Amino acid sequence: MRPPLLLSLTAACLGAALAAPVPGGAAQPLRIELRDFSSSGVAGWSAWAQRDEIRPRCYVDASPVPPARAVLAISGNGNPAECGGWAYTAGGIVAGKYYRLSAKYRVQSVPDEQRQVLARLDWRDAEGRRVGQPDYAYETSADGPWTRVTLAVPAPAAAARVRIELSLCWAPLGTVWWDDVVLEETQPPPPRWVRIGTVSLHPRGSAQENLAAFLRALDEIAADKPDIVCLGEEILLEGSSRSYTGAAEPIPGPSTRLLGEKARRYGMYIVAGLTESDGKLDYNTAVLIDRGGNVAGKYRKVYLPREEVEGGLTPGDTCPVFDTDFGRIGMMICWDAEYADPARAMALQGAEVLLVPAAGGYLTLLRTRALENHLYVASSGFDVDSAIIDPTGEVLFETKESGVHKTIAVDLSRRFTDPWLGDMRPRFHKELRRDLLQAR
């Protein structure tokens, strides 16, 4: 690499700095482009840290990969406590309007870039005081050899400025290079309404009678036009003394075919619990059937209670998520809610709704999984509540009564912000200690 460039505070590095007036008195939408530091230096940028003892090394360096130009760099400088980076303050912010931050970065020797590489917007009033809470960019995508991070959020009340912060924290041997930083006014995201349904049903018949009861329940809830419906755990066995493997069948199989006919007829997704037979192994499985009646995915219960182990079932070993036409979902089953791992794994993969077939358990745990991961949870229970819960842990619907169904419309684009903590979903993604999970 070539030697770092000297820091310059005089050259301009703006494509279009602040909102500028146009004929007629209207203002152009704000757009700031910060790139190509070889010609502009770091005008407007400043290196920052909360205290000198943890200050990283901030400098302008040659890009380690194309494009071949100078970029902002932050080095841990051998300090295990380092935390800080580059900051740029922009004016022209209008409270209530949406702004999009985009930047790309590349790292070297950073073990947990999701937590240690940070881009955020820290909102300020006209006097420079913080208003609202900072917003963290956590959504990433590949951009050639770089990683692009983006964020689109509304400016809080009283905001007139915003401080763009690009940071590296707790990576003593690491370096991050930042380039192509753009802040621009954008449109609010369109609403993403989804109608989530749950069926509370406690059948006590044969496998065929149980399935028939759930099929009738789907006929009834279809009048509410749900986009997705959650049914119970191991629906062929509920309310019976049959063995766990007594009603095992392949997936796809006869039950998914009948459930698929309902899904296709009513144009809805269905999540249902079945006992799956796969060769010599049997699993407690939740299956996702799409609007066309096809098996779109399945989840094998990861945490088996000892009763199911003694009953001959095998635990699953993955926590997949599934893309639907309204958003990304995950599935858990009953005892999984006792542990943080499954819901957390799905949330980290971008799940927005968890569907939980359950025979028993506690509503408190379902609320906890929703709150700690900041997503919706819909459960269908036998000896536990059938419920729909929002990302704050608020129960929108709950019942233990059999023969009841409910559909609630929720907007997946809605932000849930706490006045003291801000939007916790991105904070969850940026602050989670994966190193401790791996160490355990």
Q: Where are the domains of the chain?
A: 31-189, 193-412
HEC readout, the chain: CCCCECCCCCCCCCCCCCCCECCCCCECCCEEEECCHHHHCCCCEEEEECCHHHCCEEEEEECCCCCCCEEEEEECCCCCCCEEEEEEEECCCCCCCEEEEEEEEEEECCCCHHHHEEEEEEEECCCCCECCCCEECCEEEEECCEEEEEEEEECCCCCCEEEEEEEEECCCCCEEEEEEEEEEEECCCCCCEEEEEEEECCCCCCHHHHHHHHHHHHHHHHHHCCCEEECCCCCCCCCCCCCCCCCCECCCCHHHHHHHHHHHHHCCEEEEEEEEEECCEEEEEEEEECCCCCEEEEEECCCCCHHHHHCCCCCCCCCCEEECCCCEEEECCHHHHHCCHHHHHHHHCCCCEEEEEECCCCHHHHHHHHHHHCCEEEEEECCCCEEEECCCCCEEEEECCCCEEEEEEEECCCCCEECCCEEHHHHHHHHCCHHHHHHC
pLDDT interval class at 8 (50, 70, 90): very low
Q: Once rounded to an integer, what is the mean pLDDT over residues 376-387?
A: 96
pTM of this prediction? 0.90
Displacement of CA 250 from its chain's centroid (Å): 31
Across 120-124, 188-192, 246-250, 336-340, least confident range:
246-250
pLDDT for res 13 = 40
Q: What is the mean pLDDT of residues 314-329?
A: 98
Least confidently predicted of 33-42, 309-318, 362-371, 426-435? 33-42
Residue 15, pLDDT > 70, answer no
Half-sphere exposure at residue 113, Cβ-oriented, CA atoms within 13 angstroms: 18
Non-local CB neighbours of 72 within 8 Å, separated by 6+ positions: 37, 42, 45, 58, 60, 61, 86, 166, 177, 178, 179
| Pairing assessment for the beta strands 175-186 and 31-34 based on DSSP bridges | antiparallel
Looking at residue 40, its pLDDT comes to: 58
Cβ atoms of 121 and 149 within 8 Å: the answer is: no
Query: Has residue 288 got a pLDDT over 90?
Result: yes
Please report which confidence band the pLDDT of residue 225 belongs to, taking 50, 70 and 90 as the band edges. very high
Q: 31-189, which class in CATH?
A: mainly beta
* CATH code 1.10.760.10 for 193-412: no
Q: What is the mean pLDDT of the chain?
A: 91
**Residue range 39-67: mean pLDDT, rounded:** 89
Least confident of 11-20, 389-398, 401-410: 11-20
Residue 12 has pLDDT above 50, yes or no: no
From residue 240, give the alpha-carbon distance in Å to each of 5, 282, 389: 75, 18, 29
Using a pLDDT cut of 70, give the percent of the chain over it.
92
